[in-house]
Chains A and B, each alone.
Chain A
Amino acid sequence: MSQDIYVIIEHLRGQIADISYVLCAAARQMAAASGGNVVGLLLGHNVKDLAQDVAVDRVLAVDDPLLANFVPDVYQQVLANLISASAPRAVLFGDTSIGAELAGALSVQLGLPLVSYCRNVRADDGRLTYVSQLCGGKVMVEGELPAPTALVAMVPGGYQAEQGKSTQPPPVETVAPPALAAGRITLKQYIEPESGDVDISKEAILVSVGRGIQNADNIELVRELAEAIGGVVSASRPVVDQGWLPTTRLVGKSGKRVKPRLYLALGISGAPEHAEAITDSQTIIAVNTDASAPIFDIARYGTTLDLLDLVPVLTEKVRQAKQ
């Protein structure tokens, strides 16, 4: 057993995921309280030079051709060995399409408790307290971080990625993988995002719609507003799932991160999966009938008018203003 904090360094196709830096920032603070080191776990093939700027005390790199791409059951075998061999105080995962499934599987396999949706970990007199966000960010819960070893799946928002970066490359120790066998899951191919449409991550003005738009026909109202103001229509998950807009317009965890000068959020509640992708916007203006919607916590300006009442009037006024 140790007081070390392990961090799963998540990467995809040669790029460290932003969440990895958030995990490092959290781990630094936790290790200071627990009295251990921060250890980055890096699984992959020919990746040991990838971890140049992660703020960890050392990196354990496991290199194997079978780890070249994320395959859940193969990654799980390797991590199970590493974690059970050293019993760290905590293992931090991103609450992502990679980390979330590893954390769940390992929790059952190793019999270790799992804390999910964790936003930050507080240290009070050496005791660690998790703080998680539930109900789409409308409720926070906290409690003692389970001991002796806790698995923690973290969401962004509690730490700046910059806090988890270092200009000093950490020492990298290469660990021999256990005898790996291809499991019951195989990667067939990557399918690139559709191109040909606008790239919403590069647009200066986004007029974004969520569930509040109610039906496909109303999208036209928003398109007219976007056209009037010289912007582009984007959307949150429910609108894309309904097939009302293509996935190229999806803003959020599984879509694009955006950084426009103006993000006009129409009928979007601001669930964490969406909020994390718009925080780099210069100005967010939110329109939502629910005054307690989390979108108003990150927006600079807001109104609780129904978007269907507001948008046609706004489009007209924007057109007049441009004449």
Chain B
Amino acid sequence: MHIVVPVKLVPDLVEELVIDPSGTTLDPDTLRLQLNEFDGHAIEQAILLKERGGGQVTVMAPDVEGVDDVLYTAAAKGADRLIKLCGNFGQSVNNHAMACAVANLIKPLQPDLVLTGVQSHSDLDGSMGPLLAAYLGFPYVGYIAGVTLSDGRAVVRKEYPGGLVAEMEVVLPAVLGIQAADQPPRYVAFTRIRQAMKTASIEEQTVEGLDVSGGPTVSRMYKPEAAARATMIEGKPDEVASRLVELFRELGVL
């Protein structure tokens, strides 16, 4: 069983997002990137499947700031092979371009399973999974929380609104969009990541001819203006709590 997990790094939303003077992208100098949260679940799901049934896990990521940490962390968790995609990855490179390039690199690896995070918050032209599956000619099912493998097939639990789950069977090779791994992503101590930095190696593969025509162009980026903002309650915990109790009374819930 060979499982490939192509991941992406996205803006860390805890940081203040600054819009570039061009008004169409985020300011690259203040931007801090981190692993897309759902991709973290995809890595975890891949490692869990390997632990249960054996096999090999390959993690690949584009060469942007922070990529080495992401790849070595994956190795410390149990990934066997790390691939860094080298090329010119500005913010204008969209998922269509990446999915097409990644598909070309994945094909020769002949994976049984490709796992991606179901979405990221920066997917202006659709999430990676369905695009990648279409370029690979593999079936795709997304919003997955739960995967078991047997006999050349994956049985997956697809989530619908309201808590309804559809159990679907997918013929391998396939791409799955992971919403949540069977278990929360494991924590690895920094010493183990440092260990991985010494023992694991990162392969580099060049990506060229990125075609962005599958997504829209951006003519303006801006911060949303809320129709109404919350009335902010200032003060120490004691003062704020007293005001909240008053509000609870006014609302008739106390």
Contacts and interface: CB of A to CB of B under 8 A. Distances in A.
Interface of A: 12-13, 17, 69-73, 96-98, 100-105, 107-109, 111, 113-117, 130, 132-146, 150, 153, 183-194, 204-205, 229-231, 237-238, 240-243, 247-248, 250, 253-257, 261-262, 269, 271, 282-286, 290, 292, 294, 296-297, 299-305, 309-310, 313-314, 316-318, 321-322
A138 B10 CA distance: 13
B26 to A, nearest CB: 7
Interface of B: 11, 13-14, 16-17, 19, 24, 26, 37, 41, 96, 99, 119, 121-127, 129-131, 133-135, 139-143, 155, 157-171, 174, 177, 179-180, 183-184, 213-224, 226-234, 237-238, 240-242, 244-245, 247-249, 251-254
Given A100-B130, A185-B139, A302-B232, A190 B166 contact: yes
15 contacts: A101-B129, A116-B125, A116-B126, A135-B13, A144-B219, A184-B139, A250-B163, A255-B162, A271-B121, A296-B232, A301-B230, A301-B232, A305-B237, A321-B248, A321-B249
A285 B244 contact: yes
Contacts of A191: 157, 164-167
Contacts, number: 272
A189 B158 contact: no
Nearest to B249: A321
A313 B238 contact: yes
A187 B164 CA distance: 13
Contacts of B248: 229, 262, 318, 321
Contacts of B223: 138-140
A108 B230 contact: no
Contacts of B165: 190-191, 193
Given A72-B141, A143-B216, A190 B229 contact: no
B158 A97 contact: yes
B219 A297 contact: no
Given A261-B253, A301-B230, A322-B254, A184 B134 contact: no
Contacts of B164: 12-13, 190-193
Given A141-B124, A142-B218, A314 B241 contact: yes
A108 B139 contact: no
Nearest to B236: A305
Nearest to A322: B254
B124 A317 contact: no
A133 B177 CA distance: 21
Contacts of A102: 130
Contacts of B24: 141
Given A101-B177, A108-B131, A188-B167, A139 B222 contact: yes
Contact of B224 (A116, A254, A297): A297
A97 B241 CA distance: 39
Contacts of A309: 237
B251 A113 contact: no
A13 B26 CA distance: 42
Main SS class of interface, A: mixed
Nearest to A112: B214
A11 to B, nearest CB: 11
Contacts of A104: 126-127, 129-131, 134, 140
A135 B179 CA distance: 17
Contacts of A231: 253
Contacts of B133: 105
A308 B139 CA distance: 45
A144 B216 CA distance: 7
A250 B141 CA distance: 22
A282 B140 CA distance: 39
B28 to A, nearest CB: 14
Nearest to A137: B224
Given A261-B251, A302-B232, A133 B224 contact: yes
A116 B96 CA distance: 12
- Of A254, A290, A310, chain B has the most CB atoms within 10 Å of the CB of A254
Contact of B163 (A188, A238, A256, A300): A256
Contacts of B161: 12, 17, 96-97, 253-255, 257
Contact of B216 (A101, A115, A184): A115
A192 B162 CA distance: 10
Contacts of A282: 251
A117 B179 CA distance: 17
Nearest to A306: B237
A254 B159 contact: yes
B136 to A, nearest CB: 10
B125 A113 contact: yes
Contacts of A146: 216
